[in-house]
Amino acid sequence: MPSHKARPLVGFLLGTHPSARDPSSPAAIIRFAGIGVVVYILLIIFQPALHQAYGYWFRAFGDVVFHRVGGVGSVHFLDLHSQTLFQDLDEVTPGDLPANFDVPKADGEKDTLLVLQSSKAPGSVGLFRSGSRMMAYIPTALFFALFVATPLPVLKRVVLLVAGFVVLHLFLVLRMWVYVTNVGFADPGKKYHIYEPGDLSRDLLRRADKVLADDPTFNYIVPVLVWLVVVLGINFWTRRRELAALKAASRNRRG
């Protein structure tokens, strides 16, 4: 148990002490920045150790979300490092692979094979390599670091964590949808394409893909925006409850 004198310091570091929530306090600002940077660096350093577990989550999440695209399309997320990749690929594309098929290999950070198919074009398959680290782990790690550094009471921290992860994963879904649509499902040159975009829509899709999927700065912009929106939302909700309580107390005194 910390001593009586040490408790304010522990509370300050944990973000439960009021002094840690004073935005005008240089010490509170340094605490937030220091904890955020340290947690983010640790998550990046230990990413190789977490790689297998997070990669499994990324592919399982993708399989569920993209099981059906546009009613007739589907995307399977396979592990490029799997020793049974050929069997896994053959299972999701029954009868569509030639006997001498050259199995794609992992390339740098690209650890996931995306298998695009459409029921409108049986036998036609699109294969694209992607990476769980750049697509999802980096923005998730940054948001988690911001969450740990944010000085909030326990209940509000839970709300921040849950709401933040929901909003962040909605962005990840959008990011992956734009990518698979641009490279495959909206490409009229692919037999398995399922969308027929006009020239303007196709150009907008390419631009969106460059920003959402290809621009690494988006890995840092989005989690910060998500964190900021959720924190402001929590503060707004808290302020409204406080004002409602004050109005209720005022009415009771007058009554």
Residue-wise pLDDT for 3-53, tens only, equals 555 555 445 555 545 555 555 567 777 888 899 999 999 999 999 999 889
Tokens of 195: 């969308």
Beta-sheet strands, E only, within the chain? 73-79, 112-118, 125-130
Cβ-contact 233, 162 below 8 angstroms: no
CA–CA dist 90, 240 (Å, integer): 56
Confidence of residue 117 (pLDDT cuts 50, 70, 90): very high
Q: Which of 29, 6, 238, 7 is nearest to 150 (CA)?
A: 29
pLDDT in the model for residue 55: 93
> What is the number of alpha carbons within 13 Å of residue 218 lying toward its C-beta?
16
pLDDT at 107: 84
The answer to whether the CB of 72 falls within 8 A of the CB of 194 is yes
What pLDDT is stored for residue 20 in this prediction? 55
Q: Chain-wide mean pLDDT for the chain?
A: 85
Tokens coding 225: 């925006």
Binned at pLDDT 50, 70 and 90, residue 75 comes out as very high
- Which tokens in the block code for residue 230? 């959720």
Average pLDDT over residues 83-99: 82
For residue 7, the model assigns a pLDDT of: 54
Model pTM score: 0.83
The gap between the terminal CA atoms of the chain, to the nearest Å, is: 47
**Strand bridging mode 112-118 / 125-130:** antiparallel
Percent of the chain with pLDDT over 90: 50
